[in-house]
Amino acid sequence: MKKELLQLYKNKKYLIKNRLESFKSLTEDQKFKEFLFCLLTPQSNAQKCWEAVEQLSNLKEFNINNIAKILKTKTRFHNTKAKRILKARETFPKIEKLLENNNKKVLRKEIAEIVNGYGLKEASHFIRNIGLSNNEIAILDRHILRNLKSLKIISEDKMKNNKHYLETEEKFLNLAKSLKIPPDELDLLFWSKENGEIFK
């Protein structure tokens, strides 16, 4: 499977690198949209979540009813997530102040603690999607865990707690090093392997 992975990387390397590069030049509004996106993605379809974010950004009145109406057809747990989205405007300025921290693991921990609806995975996702991950952290989403399990690097594809997350992250980072594929690129490679596209 590693051989197939390396071949796939060779084929998609250019597109993956371009995608990651595009994350580094986002406007403040685009960063806020990524912040909302990562609030919506838990246990939901990523493409539908992004559609919801696009619709949310066009709302004339940003209130709980309008938000919930959009989320109802796009994401699971729409009522809970609607409350989180409403609060996001108030939380985001606090997050922006933290982003200058060059220690990505400390930055992630701080974001996960401040944002209601974020854990280590969502905070990692947000940091990567605004071009700040620097290949130092991993988004241990279902697609990564499934691939790690099929490579026999982990035996179970569910995260128990933060300690387990950090241990599994180390295994993912070591795999990336052994394959000579930067971790951020390996993430998008696993995603495209499962979904046939390079998304976010």
Q: Which residues are catalytic, by number?
A: 121, 141
Amino acid (one-letter) located at 52? A
Tokens of 23: 């994350």
Whose tokens are 């084929």? That residue is: 11
Whose tokens are 């696009």? That residue is: 54
Closest CA to 57 of 78, 28, 77, 36: 36
Residue 137's Cα: distance from chain center in Å?
11
Contact 23, 129 (CB under 8 A): yes
Contact 5, 179 (CB under 8 A): yes
Give the number of other Cβ atoms within 10 Å of residue 106's Cβ: 11
Whole-angstrom CA distances from 11 to 29, 65, 95, 121 are: 33, 45, 36, 28
Q: Which residues contact 15 (CB under 8 A, 6 or more apart)?
A: 198
